[in-house]
Structure 1
Amino acid sequence: MKNLIYIIAILLTVGMFQSCSDDDFPVPPASTVPEFAFVIDNDEFAPATVTFTNNSIVPGNVGTATYYWNFGDGESTSEENPTYLYTESGAYTVNLVVTTSESLEINEITKTVVIKDPNATGVPIYFTDGAQVYQGLINTQAPIFTTVNGVVAQSSYGMVIDNVNSKLYISDYGADKIYRSNLDGSNFEEFRTGVDQPNGMTIDYEENQIYWDTSSGIQRGNIDDTDVNQVEDFVTGQSNDPDGLSIDLVNRKLYWVNYNGGVWVKNLDGTGESELIPVIEGGSMLVIGDRIFYDEYVASGDVRLKSADLDGTNISTIAVNIGRVVYGIGYDANENKIYWGDRSTDVMMRANLDGSSPEAWFTHSADTRGIVIGELE
């Protein structure tokens, strides 16, 4: 009898929930989702025509959809799939608003369309957000970055420019690879495979060698050797994880900083390996003249950019309160400024070499890592 009562109670409970679900809590209709894609002709140089494809999702029960486009230069349209001619270069904020007649929704999406200046000159600058590489120019205009087409990575933290051969090298920590391409992204290829979690890289032009870090040391490879397996161990037994590295070409020395502690140096002939500054935890290293520049993790939310003489003495602080470990310090020799990325705010900063005149130079939608700067065009 108890079992029968229990079964009846269960059936009544299920029926009540079904009744409430059907009558009192109707499932709301699906919402409208605005979305669009675009293609830019003329290799994205002004004047350029942009073809917009409206990919918005509009459920059948929301009524008629109306589309309103704002092209970011004061012009607009209500066409569903418009084309638009941009005659001037610039970064344009394009906004699509979708309204519906029955559900009375107003939803919108915004994307940036970058039209490049065919006559623009300046110092080329690159960075990666891990998956894509971006290129811009340092000049008197506001920074405009565009994607370097053809370069794809899983999780990139570091890059280096070969200014002699006009090549870009990209390390891929996630794929255990180093890639190489032309500066425009063409001829993208695997340079080395099976390397162990590479991040930082630096080039020795005298010996035609490129150096990169691993999880426990530093390796190098000949730039002209196309064998993806050609590697040579240069530093071993570094259990505290080398990351950023840079070469002093004048004195023929390699400097690096470890993620888990210490700034180190070693002669490029393989002698004289020593720790210059103990304890320091960081991700980037750059030699500029007679100083080294590196980041130091002090506490969560407090990473500091510092510099020191080549022997590790005379340490000074360039910047404080950087949110996360820095990956990639760039140097613009033309303006004598240093660049770095704050991966907590997605802001690329710059300042004079002594830390004066700091400014937020560029904001991205994701990380700004692997910053490298080329020569004046």
Structure 2
Amino acid sequence: MPRGQKSKLRAREKRRQAHAETQSLEDAQATGAAAAAAAATAAAAGESPSSVCPPFEDRPQNMPAAGTPSTPEGPQGTTNANAAVSCTNSDEGTNSQKKESSKSSKGIEDLRRDPLHMKVALLVHYLLHKYQKKEPITKSEMLKFVIRKYKYRFNEILKRASEHMELAFGLDLKEVDPTRHCYALVSKLDLTSNGTMNEEENPPKTGLLMIVLGVIFINGNCATEEEIWEVLNMMGVHAERKHFIYGDPKKVITEDLVQLKYLEYRQVANSDPPRYEFLWGPRAHVETSKMKVLEFLAKIYDTVPSAFPFWYEEALRDEEERAQARMAARARAAAMASARSRAVASARSRATASNFSQAK
């Protein structure tokens, strides 16, 4: 083969390899962002959670409220005003694309500077795959297939990945066999009721649900639709935009989780035009608690629930009420069991007496 053609082939191969490397880094960045949905997404980009979400105040009334911005759609017109709007939107779209491109380039540079970041993202992807396939998770396989040459940083990588799994998907990584170093992913919800969220078929939506339940809790146990979307928008989740983890977030929140009775979605009384609000559904009250939700929110801010005294006190009262309800339920169950035992004993005594009488 002539030298000129060989040089061209080598140059083409180098370009292909460079493109493949860049694509791989971009895929890893996307996976890392997926894993860190709420504040973890910001952490993956090198930002602090407070730069994405407004810091908690001591009282829910201090939370800001703003609706989800919407873009009115009108008929295709020929007026200058419509043309001006079209041009403006086009310019904004171009600027947005430039910002996204710049952000993507920055993310790739961050990955190159912090190789652990990519390992965390890959491990999150691996853990989610194992969870969906219901396959066992072992340290040996994580070291072999994901961590590889960073074995000496295993504990750090695993810790960061488990935090992302918790915040994005509402899944806790627990070591179930310390001897063989086997792990399991456990939902933060106590899935004891009938029905599931089909987490085997789709990425778990528990993380999104926990965030919504948290917003409801900190807004006095009832949050308007605007308050919900204000927080979700700051986390990169928008009502009219498909999300790469949650799919159609609006459908998930207003339909799927409502049908599963995790959320209650109702019209605000006397609202005209109609407005809507969210409350905890009956299944949420059974499968989680205010304290668990507050612990989840506190982890987003890398703190403890007691750092928010107003909600912490309410969560403690809720825990006490739950404990009393459990004690009362156990007492009722014990009383019923005792009554059944006495009834059975009485029936046996009567039967014995009857048999004895017949024998005489």
Q: What is the TM-score when the length of structure 1 is the normalising length? A: 0.21
Q: What is the TM-score when the length of structure 2 is the normalising length? A: 0.22
Higher RCO structure (Cα 8 Å, ≥6 apart): 2
